[in-house]
Amino acid sequence: MKLIRTEDAVGHVLCHDLTQIIRDQYKDARFRKGHVVAPGDIPVLLGMGKEHLYVWEMTPGMLHEDEGAERLLALCANENMERSGVKEGKIELKASCDGLFLVRSESLRAVNAIDELMIATRKGGTAVKKGDKLAGMRVIPLIIAEEKLTAAKAAAGDTPLLELRPWVRKTAAIVATGSEVKKGLIQDTFTPVVKDKLSAYGIETISVSYSGDGVENVAGAISQARQTGAEVILCTGGMSVDPDDNTPGGIRQSGAKIVTYGAPVLPGAMFLLGYYDDGTPVMGLPGCVMYAGATIFDLVLPWVAADVSVTKEWIVSLGEGGLCLGCQPCRWPICPFGK
């Protein structure tokens, strides 16, 4: 650092906090360490009795923390996000709409492996609401070598590290299977639960039908549900391996291409997901969705609502962390099993 005349300090970076005291009115740091002196600051500093200031000696190839944060922001910011101002070298991003938050995890790890800088995000693949904090970023020291920010840009690549996909699927049809429900022997307590979960993502249930048992009956009810124009098809019950449980066979017979029947998640192992040729998703929901706070359905539904294709590989990846601990009541937006 070096000592310079206050009048010559414009554009320089302060090395320490400068406190201003106004009797009975104010006593605090008027200028913080790292502040870049602006022309309007000079009269204030002189009024504080500061005729000389200790400032950083900025050398070629070095960046102030604020500029470093701006460059990290450029690697992250995308549509449907709002940024904060720079405060003490840090910038935050918030959601400007409800949607599915996605992170390019491998590239993020590559950026964070570079010394003296950091980007912290909430978990990717999760539902967020407008106003939720998505990420924060900063460089660690007050000044940083520009080559490290250049390396971060190369590690991130040309695509933003973050993405927020708004909900786009708006309608659903439910096919409640089981002869006991169709005959009225028991009350349908499954459909209300599913409708509530759908509504949290802005999805309206426009059709509910009762297929009874049998592969042919289930497939026929699904075909009728598709004729309603619903953007999501959901079949409740009949997903176990009992001989009378025909929902998976009915979904297959209806023409869906199955992504998975079974998932490494508890509760929810007997889950089925498929897609029709026009991209409409269909799900077979196991009975646990009816009574458990969080299941595989709560993990997959945000992806479906945002019309992001769910792959077998992603379903497989849920195994690590796929055990619900039942540690707290679950409310939307749901944290994946309380983690």
Strand-pairing partners, residue 143, are: 64
Using one digit for the tens of pLDDT, what is the confidence trace for 204-236? 999 999 998 889 999 999 999 999 999 999 999
* pLDDT score at 258: 96
* pLDDT score at 338: 45
* pLDDT score at 191: 96
Mean pLDDT for 93-101 is: 97
* pLDDT score at 334: 46
Q: What is the Cα Rg of the chain in Å?
A: 28
**pLDDT at position 182 over 90:** no
Q: Of 188, 185, 161, 160, nearest to 176 (Cα)? A: 188
Instruction: Tell me the residue type at 46.
Output: L
Using one digit for the tens of pLDDT, what is the confidence trace for 9-59? 998 888 878 888 877 777 777 888 788 899 999 999 998 999 999 888 778
Using one digit for the tens of pLDDT, what is the confidence trace for 262-302? 999 999 999 999 999 999 999 999 999 999 888 999 999 99
Least-confidence region, from 20-24, 193-197, 236-240, 314-318:
20-24
* CA pair distance 193, 124, nearest whole angstrom: 26
Using one digit for the tens of pLDDT, what is the confidence trace for 99-157? 999 999 999 999 999 999 999 999 999 999 999 999 999 999 888 999 999 999 999 99
Mean pLDDT for 185-194 is: 91
* pLDDT score at 216: 94
Place of tokens 């910011």: 77
Residue 160, preceding bond cis, omega within 30 degrees? no
Q: Distances from the Cα of 243 to the Cαs of 134, 188, 218, 297, 307, in angstroms?
A: 46, 22, 15, 24, 34
* pLDDT score at 332: 38
* pLDDT score at 110: 98
Percent of the chain with pLDDT over 90: 71
Backbone angles phi, psi at 50, to 5 degrees: -95, 95
* CA pair distance 177, 247, nearest whole angstrom: 7
Half-sphere exposure of 3 (CA within 13 A, CB side): 3
* CA pair distance 102, 105, nearest whole angstrom: 9
**pLDDT at position 337 over 90:** no
Half-sphere exposure of 249 (CA within 13 A, CB side): 13
pTM here is 0.84
The mean of the pLDDT values for the chain is 91
